[in-house]
Amino acid sequence: MLVNDAVPTRDGALVFIRNTEGNEYWGILLEKAYAKWVGSYEGLEGGFWTDAIQSFTGGVVERIKLREGNIPENLFEIMLNSYRSGSFLCCIKKDPHRTEKYHSCCIDALEINEDNSEICVRDPYSQEYNFWTYEQFINEYHRLDMCHKNLDNLSALWGKNIGSCPWESQNFSLQLESLCDEFSIILTDTDDDQEGCTFVVELVQKIKPDEGEELEYIRPWDALVHLELEVGEEIFPVKFPQETRCFTLEPGTHDIRVTTNTEQHSKIYMRIFSKRMYEVERK
């Protein structure tokens, strides 16, 4: 993305992002580049933290709901390991005092001090840092979002030995003209520590216009459509720009099916990750 140094101002002052140091300009240029990619500065308002961080890193997004009583028992250990391995972490809560329905905060640090967990959370709307114990954290926030550059950090794969080979990805642009696109995946070699075969499926909705395309929505998040991912006998609703699911299935041929309820949608992509590079074919 090419940008110049002309940025919006009002009465000589920057309208959007401002750096506290007068000789810093990288944040302003990064914001302009992302606004150009989205289609407008107005399109940056609201939206999803994970969409932005995935755009910058190419990582895989994982969401863990903290209020449903089924969070991993070792979640803090997963968070700490992910943070130390270079993953990006964000926590979300409902905020009745803001116009946005949800409020996202970045997790800047995780530490263990004298056997006590400590999570440092920064509010992007202020200069405030909040320090929480793990117990306070899961009561304060209702969802944890993580963007992993290393898929080994996915919570569903924690403790599994699926091999030391690097993750390989296969990318597909979905064809949903008939509201459905189907694939088959042929699972052969099993994981190192079990009889099943592990792979990861990610669906990504492209909610930004291509260069030269006319903007249909000022807020690109309004272009999201409802999807369903069906793998084997399991069906999962997809309500975010990115949705990731891990599967461990028996060797053999299994179906992967993606459906939507509307013909009006943006481009939708599917990424399939595995360490065995399983064969995937469109039906």
What is the reported pLDDT for 212?
Answer: 56
Q: Which stretch, 48-57, 205-214, 268-277, has highest mean pLDDT?
A: 268-277
Considering the domain architecture, whether residues 187 and 230 belong to the same structural domain is answered as yes
Average pLDDT estimate for 267-279: 93
Enumerate the H helices of 100-148 as residue ranges.
134-140
* Residue 49 maps to a domain: no
Average pLDDT estimate for 23-41: 84
Alpha-carbon dihedral sign for residues 251, 253, 259, 263:
positive
CATH assignment of the domain containing 244: 2.60.120.380
Considering the domain architecture, whether residues 197 and 230 belong to the same structural domain is answered as yes
Considering the domain architecture, whether residues 178 and 259 belong to the same structural domain is answered as yes
What is the reported pLDDT for 254?
Answer: 96
Task: Work out how many domains the chain is built from and give that number.
Answer: 3
Residue whose token pair is 């793990």: 134
Considering the domain architecture, whether residues 143 and 207 belong to the same structural domain is answered as no
| 241-250: pLDDT as tens digits | 889 999 999 9
| 97-136: pLDDT as tens digits | 655 566 788 898 888 776 678 899 987 777 778 889 999 9
| Nearest CA among 240, 233, 155, 159 for reference residue 200 | 155
Considering the domain architecture, whether residues 187 and 210 belong to the same structural domain is answered as yes
* Residue 48 maps to a domain: no
What is the reported pLDDT for 220?
Answer: 54
The strand pairing partners of 258, in sequence order, are 181, 229
Model confidence band, residue 271 (pLDDT cutoffs 50, 70, 90): very high
What is the reported pLDDT for 255?
Answer: 96
Considering the domain architecture, whether residues 176 and 271 belong to the same structural domain is answered as yes
Model confidence band, residue 207 (pLDDT cutoffs 50, 70, 90): low
| Domain, as residue range, for 60 | 54-151
The strand pairing partners of 10, in sequence order, are 13
Burial group, residue 215, by CB count within 10 angstroms (0-12, 13-18, 19+)? middle
End position of a domain, from candidates 101, 116, 151 = 151
- State which H helix or E strand residue 33 sits in: helix 26-38
What is the reported pLDDT for 67?
Answer: 80
What is the reported pLDDT for 219?
Answer: 57
Alpha-carbon dihedral sign for residues 105, 111, 113, 115:
positive
| Extended beta strands in 150-206, E state | 168-173, 180-187, 197-205
Sheet holding 197-205, edge to edge: 168-173, 268-274, 197-205, 242-249
* Residue 45 maps to a domain: no
147 three-class SS: strand
Tell me the average pLDDT of the chain: 85
Considering the domain architecture, whether residues 254 and 234 belong to the same structural domain is answered as yes
* Residue 117 maps to a domain: yes
What is the reported pLDDT for 127?
Answer: 73
